Structure 1
Amino acid sequence: MKRLLICLPLSLLIGCQSNTTQMACNASESEWYEFGQNSAITGKSVRIFDAFKQQCAKQLTPTAQKSYIDGFSDGLISYCTFDNGFKRGQEGLELNQSCPLEIRQEFEKGYKIGKKTRDEKLKQAEFARREQLRSQQKKYVAPQKH
């Protein structure tokens, strides 16, 4: 019974993976474009397509890669902005290098400012926490008699 409980989810997971891969292999041009765009917007590498290229082999349409790269390029324009860099910095996420040099400067500037803002907030929170601890400790220290 225990073995069944372990094997069943694994077999379902493996089955789902092959179905997902199969669906991707048969994707339309617009779906490849959208997939490329979403990959860029979420900060992923353009190399993700290489994995599908390997898995799908000859099932890919001749225009799949072009559609993916077109979508990825458009997604980079949306992703590599000052505002998005600021947001990633504020959230404490890594500075990834997916933005091309031509548009990376604003993204990195936003990231540095966002990270600095986050770091300052963390320092202030730590200072406030320490001050609170000190004041609590003072309350519990008994007055000394001389």
Structure 2
Amino acid sequence: MYLKLLGLTGIIILLSNCATMNKADCLNADWQLIGFEDGSLGKNEVSISQHRKDCSEHGVTPDLTAYRKGHYEGAKAFCTTHNGFTRGLQGKEYKRNCPEAFEKAFLTGFSDGQNLYGLKKVLNQRTDDLEDTYKELDWLEHTIAEKSEVMISDGLNRNQRIAIRDEIAEHQTQQQHLYAVLRELKQEFENASLAYEQAKREFANYSPTN
């Protein structure tokens, strides 16, 4: 297998290469190695069209057979169930870049990763909703306390006190509404948390999740 021919250092250097090929790259190209690079990065086999375009300016034609051989091995390393899960969990898209021979395994993991990603996204939203509600309730509590002190302070006439009283009553109405909403938000948060934790246990065979 071509993968076995590559040392760790070689792979790191290979994956860090710029996608655009210059004259020297084209003249000295190892098309099997380039194919492996593209495949291992999850690029579709049609990526060779860009290499063909780059190298045509320098009178070089890619070795399609060698490229495809390398790409197949690279895709084999990329299109695994584990990697599919990882990319799904990261919220990345799948652009049908896995050969048919490996696509089913990749999509199995990718689907599970997407499911967990979606559940985590819902949980994050429920957490944000709770935090925002608590912050608003805290602001209302402090505002009501401040206005209550102002209302009984010296130097205000009757109309000013009535106006402040009405503002306090309005804030208290908002408080009551938020406390009612808070009960629903807590339940939604608990449901989202439970669903996420259950899914984490279900997919624990892939890798640790945050």
TM-score bracket for the superposition, by shorter chain length: 0.7 to 0.9
Deviation at 1:130, TM superposition (A): 0.7
Q: Which residue of 2 aligns with 1:7?
A: none
CA offsets 1:24-76 (integer angstroms, 9 cap, x no match): 32124xx3222111101111121222333344345347xx3222111101011
Q: Which amino acid aligns with 1:90?
A: L
Q: Which residue of 1 aligns with 2:101?
A: 102
Q: Which amino acid aligns with 2:84?
A: G
Q: Which residue of 1 aligns with 2:81?
A: 82
1:43-122 superposed matches below 5 A? 43-57=42-56, 58-60=59-61, 64-122=63-121
Q: Which amino acid aligns with 2:124?
A: A
Maintained 8 Å contact 2:88/2:110: yes
1:24 and 1:49 map into 2 onto residues whose CA distance is 14
Maintained 8 Å contact 1:21/1:52: no
Q: TM-score, normalised by structure 1?
A: 0.73
1:53 and 1:139 map into 2 onto residues whose CA distance is 63
Q: Which residue of 2 aligns with 1:138?
A: 137
Q: How many residues align?
A: 125
Maintained 8 Å contact 1:43/1:96: no
Q: Which runs of 5+ in 2 are unaligned?
A: 1-17, 146-167, 170-210
Q: Which residue of 1 aligns with 2:157?
A: none
Q: Which residue of 2 aligns with 1:34?
A: 33
1:81 and 1:52 map into 2 onto residues whose CA distance is 26
2:98 aligns to what SS in structure 1? coil
CA offsets 1:77-120 (integer angstroms, 9 cap, x no match): 11111011111111111112011222211101111111111111
The structure with higher relative contact order (CA 8 Å, sep 6+) is 1
User: Greater Rg, structure 1 or structure 2?
Assistant: 2
Q: Which amino acid aligns with 1:24?
A: D
1:95 aligns to what SS in structure 2? coil
- Fraction of identical pairs, as percent: 19
1:101 and 1:32 map into 2 onto residues whose CA distance is 22
1:50 and 1:66 map into 2 onto residues whose CA distance is 14
Q: Which residue of 2 aligns with 1:23?
A: 24
Q: TM-score, normalised by structure 2?
A: 0.53
2:124 and 2:55 map into 1 onto residues whose CA distance is 51
2:77 and 2:106 map into 1 onto residues whose CA distance is 11
